[in-house]
Amino acid sequence: MSKHLKLKLSLITVLFIVSLFYSKELFLVSEGAIHQFDQIDIIVASTCFGIITSSTIYNLSLYLFTKHTIHLYYALAQTSALFFLINLDSLFIIPFDTIFGLKSFMLFNILQIFMLIFSILFLESFFRTYRIKELKRLTRAILYIAFFDLLLTFIFSRSIISTLIPIFIPIWLILSEAFRLTSEKDLPFYFITIGWSIVLVTVAFEYTGLLALTGITFPFLHISIAFESVLLSLAIAYKFKLLEEEKQKQQTIMLQQSRLANMGEMISIIAHQWKQPLNFISFGLMNLKRQLRGNDKGLSDIKKLNKQLQYMSSTMEDFRNFYNPTKEKDDFLLSSSCEKSIMIATNSLDLIDISLTLKVVKDFSLFGNVNEFQQVILNLINNAKDAFESRGIEDATIEILIDKPRVIITDNAGGISKKNLDKIFGMYFSTKKGSDGIGLYIVKVIVEKELKGEIEVETDSTGCSFILSFSKTQ
C-alpha cells in the first residue's frame, strides 16, 4: 500500500471517528418538506430528469447491442441516481412532495448504496482499460463494505456506514487514486474526472450545509448529475472509439509482420537451396586456386569470384534477417542500419536510374528493433521510387542524411499535394492504384510508438523530405 493511499485512508478513519461523536445528529430524520422550488427551478429539475433518463436509455441500449458491461453498470448507476433524486425531492422539496409522493427514508438509503455500488462497478470497468492493477483491490474492498451496509439497511431500516461516511468519499478515493496511478491520461479520462468532480463538489456542499447557508434554493444537484450523465456517456463512447482505433492499429501491424514473416520463410527456403551450390562453387574455386599457383591473373580472378560468393551469401543472410523480424530490442547504429536498408533496397527494388546516397554528418545510436527501423527506411525509399515512376522524373535522387538527433530522407519526386498532406499518414490512404495505403501509416506507428520518435514531412514543388526526429530518446 502506497503512502498516499495510507494517508487518505487515515483521513477517512478520522472522519469516521468524528462522525461517531455526532451520530445522533446524523441519524436524525427530518419531517416534512424543507425547500420550495419556484417555476424556473421545477423546469430545470424536470429537464435534468429527462437528460438522466435519456442517458440511462442510451447506455442500456448500447449494452444490449455491444454486451459491454460498462454500459450496463452506468445505466444502473443513472437509474439509481434518478430514483434517488425523485425520492429526495419527495421528502424535502415542494411541490415534488405531492407530485411524486415517494416518501421513504429506507428507500432513500437503499438508493444511495445502489448508486455507490453501480458507480464503483462502472469506475472499475472504465479504469480497467488503463490497466491500473492497484485499483482493483481498493474497489473490491469498497464494494464489500457497500454490500454489508446494504444488509444493515434491510435489518435496521437505515444505512449505517454511508450515513457516517457519505458515499462521495469512497468515489473521491477511487478517482484520486486513478488520477495518481494513471501515467497516460486521455480525453475520456479527463471527461470522467471532471464529470464526477462536479457531482462530488456539489454533494459535498449539500452534505456540509454550505449551500443552505447561502439561502439559495436551486436544483444544483440535479444539474450536476445531468451534466455528469452527458459527459460520462461521451467519455464511454469516445473511449471505445479509441480502443477500436488501437485495435485496428495492432491488426495492421500484425498484418505487416505476417507479410514479412511469409517473405522471410520463402527467402529461408531459397537460402537453403542456394547453400549447397554456393559451397560446391567455393570448394571448386579452392581447387582451382591450388592448380593456378604462380598464375597471378588466374588467382586474381578467383579472389574476385570468392568476393562475389561472400557478397551473395551475406546478402541472402541480410534479407533473411530483415524478413524474419523479431521483437528483440537493442542499441543499433543508424549509419550501419541505413547502409543495410540501402543494400536491401538496391537488391529488392528496381532502382535503375535512381541515385541513392547516404550522408552522415553526426552518427548516433537508437534503442529499439533494428528491423523495424530498416522497414521505415525501405518504405520511404519505395514511396519515392513509386513517385519517380508515376511522374517520369529524370535524374531521380534520394538522399538519406543522418545528423544527430535526426534522420532526413529527401527526394526530388515533385512533392506531395497540399490537400493530401494531412492524410498521408492515415490508415488505408493512398493516391496510388492498387496500393493498400498502410506503408506510411506503418512508418508513423513504428517511429512514434516503437522508436519513441517523431515524424514530419516538408514538401514543395521539387520534392519532399521526411524528417525523423529522436531528440526525446537521446
Note the pLDDT tens digit of each residue in 272-311.
Answer: 667 777 777 777 878 787 777 777 777 787 777 777 677 6
pLDDT confidence of 115, banded at 50, 70, 90? very high
For the chain, percent of residues with pLDDT exceeding 70: 83
Residue entry with cell 434518478 = 82
For the chain, percent of residues with pLDDT exceeding 90: 20
The confidence score (pLDDT) of residue 259 equals 64
Q: Where does residue 427 rank: exposed (0-12), middle (13-18), buried (19+ CB within 10 A)?
A: middle
The confidence score (pLDDT) of residue 100 equals 78
Q: Which sign does the torsion angle of CA 23, 27, 33, 39 carry? A: positive
Extents of the domains making up the chain: 3-250, 254-308, 328-473
Q: Specify the higher pLDDT residue, 136 or 435.
A: 136
Note the pLDDT tens digit of each residue in 168-190.
Answer: 899 999 999 988 888 888 888 89
Mean pLDDT of the chain: 82
Q: Which three cell numbers stand for residue 240?
A: 471505445
**Is beta strand 365-368 parallel, antiparallel or unpaired with respect to 406-411?**
unpaired
Q: Specify the higher pLDDT residue, 259 or 161.
A: 161
Q: What is the rounded CA–CA span in Å between residue 129 and residue 123? A: 10
To the question of pTM greater than 0.75 for the whole model, the response is no
Q: What is the rounded CA–CA span in Å between residue 460 and residue 411? A: 11
Q: What is the rounded CA–CA span in Å between residue 166 and residue 15? A: 10
Res. 47: pLDDT tops 80: yes
CA dist list (Å): 408 to 334, 430, 450 = 12, 22, 18
Q: What is the rounded CA–CA span in Å between residue 411 and residue 440? A: 15
Q: What is the rounded CA–CA span in Å between residue 463 and residue 443? A: 19
pLDDT confidence of 158, banded at 50, 70, 90? confident
| 297-334 residues labelled b (16+ CB within 10 A) or e (exposed) | eeeeebeebeeeeeeebebbebbbbbbebeeeeeebeb
In this structure, are residues 122 and 139 in contact, taking their beta carbons and an 8 Å threshold?
no
**Matching CATH number, 328-473, of 3.30.465.10, 2.120.10.30, 3.30.565.10, 2.170.120.12:** 3.30.565.10
Residue 72: CB atoms within 10 Å = 20
SS (H, E, C) 195-241: HHHHHHHHHHHHHHCHHHHHCCCCCHHHHHHHHHHHHHHHHHHHHHH
